[in-house]
Amino acid sequence: MRNMDVSVAGIRSVGKSPLQAVVRLLRDAILRGEFAPDTKVRIEDLRARYGTSLGTVREALSCLLAEGLVVEEGQKGFRIASMSVADITDIMTTRSVLESHALTYSMQHTSVDWEAGVVASLHLLNRIERDSAAFGEWLAANRAFHLALCSGCPSPRLRDFLVSLFHQSQRYGHRLLSRGVVPRHLSDEHDQIVRAVLAGDVDLAVSCLKSHIEQVKGELVEIAALSPTPRDPPE
Amino acid sequence: MSDSKAHPADTETVGTLSQTAYQLIRRDILSGVLEPGAKLKIETLRAAYQVGPTPIREALSRLSAEELVQIEQQRGFRVAPVTIKELQDISDVRIMLESEAVRRSILEGDYAWEANVVSAFHKLDRMEAARRAHGAVDFDEWEARNREFHDALVAASGSKWLNNLGRQLYSHHERYRRAALKQEHAAPQRDVHAEHRALMEASLARNVPAALDMVRLHIERTVEAVRASLAAAPRRDARQRTPA
């Protein structure tokens, strides 16, 4: 479905290259928490893991540098970006600003196609939430729902930024799963947003969206506060 | 691109070769030394920046993730073109981010924030006096002062993400600001300095609506100036694509 086809932040221009494939795999691994925050990236391990060249791995890391998922370390290395309470608070607050703007724009320029996309993505999300235990699948559907709400706003930059912020918050979402925390039942909040959207009530829809993001922020902050940031063992 | 205009890596630059290549190529794209649409050949860049092919490729990958470079079939690279559509997009999103950051700074900023805004404006003011006296301005210096002023305004927003995304768009705007500035000098009906003054005064007076009106007006007027500049030179874009 259209809204599930989420474009990758920042690399619209890359095309279907080996580089794009490695960027995608590596990003997903970071979002799933396979590499702990602040740990040094072992480039040779990644080369073996993805069966590609050292050059391609370094280029992929350079792309992820621009997305803020890795940071530069020392002379030639990379480190997985940190996670912290301050960081997730900022990420969710910024998401709230950007998503509110995009939803307002979408509702002011509403179309049947846009509404249909919102309704369809909500339906899919609710089905998955009820029937599926796969948290990864739920996260993807949740992201698709939020992007559908924003998709009436035709700005490629805004969309890139939203996807980037989503990736950032997804790292914390995966941590909920790894701690065995079952995600709170969110479908009521999602339903409320969509009811306000279909009623054409911009103020209500935006205020529902904001309070929803605020709720989720509280949960993600909690998980971030619980998790001490692991450091590299001494080498 | 022209080899004589590209700057070789400064031996005193701290950081890795990739970082250096990234910073230099980015600077030259934003300033227009590497022209919009120009093909970026690894060999040519190696010679121009005096670094190896690996740092160049890494720098170009990072710039592609920033939308300043496009990757083509067969892994060729090209400077992203400038278009009115993209200018409008950058401007719209910048207005949104900067409005929110200015609003929060006005609500949260302390006296130190005020002092930094005043200080950054003073430097702009001095440049404006010099421009009036000599009839010209060093664009690079003006650009640096302008950036400092806008950074100072949003410094108290409390959001690293909001400010970083805003700063990225501010940078990408530079390619368009250069065109706008030429137009303003040719037909100076716009007083950018008065806009900055109004923005500073509204912010210090903690007048959120007036400050946000000014943020919007300030950015929209640049869009108008670039439109006028492109309309005045319709073939400029085509000429820029010709390899130098």
- H or E element at residue B121: helix B111-134
CB contact under 8 A, B58 and A67: no
Of A143, A140, A163, A171, nearest in space to A9 by CA: A163
So what's the pLDDT on residue B207? 98
Please provide the average confidence, as pLDDT, over all residues in chain B. 85
Strands B69-71 and B77-79, by their bridges, are antiparallel
* Residue range B177-236, pLDDT digits in tens: 877 776 665 555 678 889 999 999 999 999 999 999 999 999 999 888 888 877 776 544
Out of B61, B72, B159, name the one closest to residue A62 (CB): B61
Higher pLDDT pick, A219 / B137? A219
CB contact under 8 A, A75 and B93: no
Measure Cα distances from A98 to A92, A102, A147 in Å: 10, 6, 11
Out of B62, B160, B161, name the one closest to residue A65 (CB): B62
CB contact under 8 A, B58 and A76: no
Residues β-bridged to residue B78: B39, B70
CB contact under 8 A, B67 and A160: yes
Burial label, B176 (beta-carbon count in 10 A; 0-12, 13-18, 19+): buried
**pLDDT of residue B150 exceeding 80:** yes
Single pTM value for the model: 0.84
Nearby residues of B138 by Cβ (< 8 Å), 6 or more positions away: none
**Contact, A109 vs A121, CB < 8 A?**
no
How does residue B137 score in pLDDT terms, banded at 50, 70 and 90?
A: confident
User: Average pLDDT by consecutive 10-residue portion of chain A (235 residues)?
Assistant: 35 61 93 92 93 92 93 87 96 97 95 96 90 76 93 92 94 81 75 96 98 93 74 43
**Contact, B46 vs B2, CB < 8 A?**
no
Residues β-bridged to residue B40: B77
- Touching check for A53 and chain B: CB below 8 Å? no
